[in-house]
Amino acid sequence: MELLFLLLVSGTWSLTGAQFYYQGLVEYVENRLLALEDRMQLWHDQTQRCHTELQDFQKQTSEAVDGLGGEHGALLRDLEGAAVRLDRLEREMDHVEAQNSPRACTNKADKVVEQEAWGLEEGRGDEEEEEEWEELDSTVSDCVDIIAAIRSVKILKRVGGPKGMWTRDPQSSEVYVFNGTSGDSVYRFSSVADFSRSVGLSSGRQIALPSRWGGLGGAVYNGYLYYIQQGAGADVQVVKYDLLSESVTDVAMFPVESLAAVYKLNPETVADLAADDEGLWLLYAASDSELNIHLAKMDAGTLDIEQIWDTRCPREKAEAAFVVCGTVYVVYNTRLASRSRVECVFDVNDMVQSEEAPLLYFPRRYGAHSSLKYNPEEKQLYAWDDGYQIIYRLTMKRKLLV
């Protein structure tokens, strides 16, 4: 009996201990769940607050973007208006320059006037007393034309690299293209129209030369191609290539102290050949320390140097030059390409004084000229401007001596 009582008491205590254990476990789980619910509520509140702040930020950003869009539109309209005004101003400048042509002056004893002015004096009849006039007796160049203005501009096409050269033989209609700043071939087209219609340079006939040309100083004159070959050291060679027989007929060594760029803005060109009404000319720099551009008159047949001048035109900021009737026109620009302009003029006859000649501006197009080649038959320039091939038609006037 006692044993049974003890067993009942022991079982009761066991059940009571298990009950307390499970009750404590349940309370612990409930507390953990409550803690989790509190954290979830906290996260929910924080998420809600972040969502609200994000909406406010999106609203502010949208308002700021709308405001910037409006300001950008206004700025764009202002820039477009400025571009229109600038274009109108350049056109007006071109018109003014065309109407008021540059007057190239000589020294105090001489004066260069224009043919139109002489015709005006003749048309006045008896109103004013006529004066005697005579042409300048030139010992180097008999041509008396000077550039008055750029009459028109024609953008032919865009082909090849940013730098190059193209020109036309004055005695034929054929066009020759030098692509890049060096190479061993040139491209020939039957005419300017044929070149204009071509898809690319491969449409023309490729002429393989026996040696490489360097720089953009080539020229085509009376059926011959003249180009600059840079030899070892400081040697500069002028190569005369017969386009009919496709062979080299002559090579002339032109000694210089160093391979100095004749134009500082186009350092690839160490010498520049130019053809005009009087024949073949060579523009070069004697050395890298030389500040000015030098001019040499060449015999187109033998490549002999007939005479040399110091043009007194600086190489600094020069981008190209060309020769018209024995007068050198040096075109200047800036390293950040701006508007090209003639700032220095040198006449082998000492008729034109550079410091007295007004500026001649080129209408701004793309960048800066890598080459300018004059055609005396057409009175126009063949230009290469940032890969664009451009033709400048010139207005010429005669120089008359008092």
- pLDDT, tens digit, 9 for 90 and up, residues 15-38: 676 677 777 788 888 888 888 888
Does residue 106 lie within any of the structural domains? no
Taking the C-alpha atoms of residue 181 and residue 230, their distance in angstroms, rounded to an integer, is 12
Question: Domain with 141 in it: what CATH number?
Answer: 2.120.10
Tokens 């760029």 sit on residue: 261
Domain match, 54 and 121 both: no
Q: Mark which of 77, 100, 123 sits at the end of a domain.
A: 100
Domains identified in the chain, total number: 2
Under the banding of pLDDT at 50, 70 and 90, the label for residue 185 is very high
- 156 and 263 share one domain: yes
- For residue 105, being part of any structural domain is answered with no
What does the chain come to in residues?
Answer: 402
Q: In this model, does residue 141 exceed pLDDT 80?
A: no
Looking up tokens 């209408």, which residue turns up? 363
Q: Are residues 317 and 250 in the same domain?
A: yes
Given a contact cutoff of 8 angstroms between Cβ atoms, the answer to whether 184 and 197 are in contact is no
Is there a contact between 162 and 387 (Cβ–Cβ < 8 Å)?
yes
Q: DSSP labels for 261-305?
A: -SSTTSTT-SEEEEEETTEEEEEE-SSTT--EEEEEEE-TTT--E
Name the residue with higher pLDDT: 87 or 236. Answer: 236
pLDDT of 131 > 50? The answer is no
144 and 291 together in one domain = yes
Q: Is residue 150 situated within a structural domain? A: yes
Residues 138 and 231 in one domain: yes
92 with 50, same domain: the answer is yes
Residues 194 and 244 in one domain: yes
Share of the chain above pLDDT 90, in %: 44
Based on the fold, state whether residues 6 and 116 are members of the same structural domain: no
Q: Which of 100, 128, 149 is the last residue of a domain?
A: 100
Q: Same domain for 269 and 351?
A: yes
Is the pLDDT assigned to residue 251 strictly greater than 80? yes
Mean predicted lDDT score pLDDT of the chain = 81
For residue 124, being part of any structural domain is answered with: yes
Least confident of 92-101, 228-237, 274-283, 296-305: 92-101
376: containing domain = 112-401
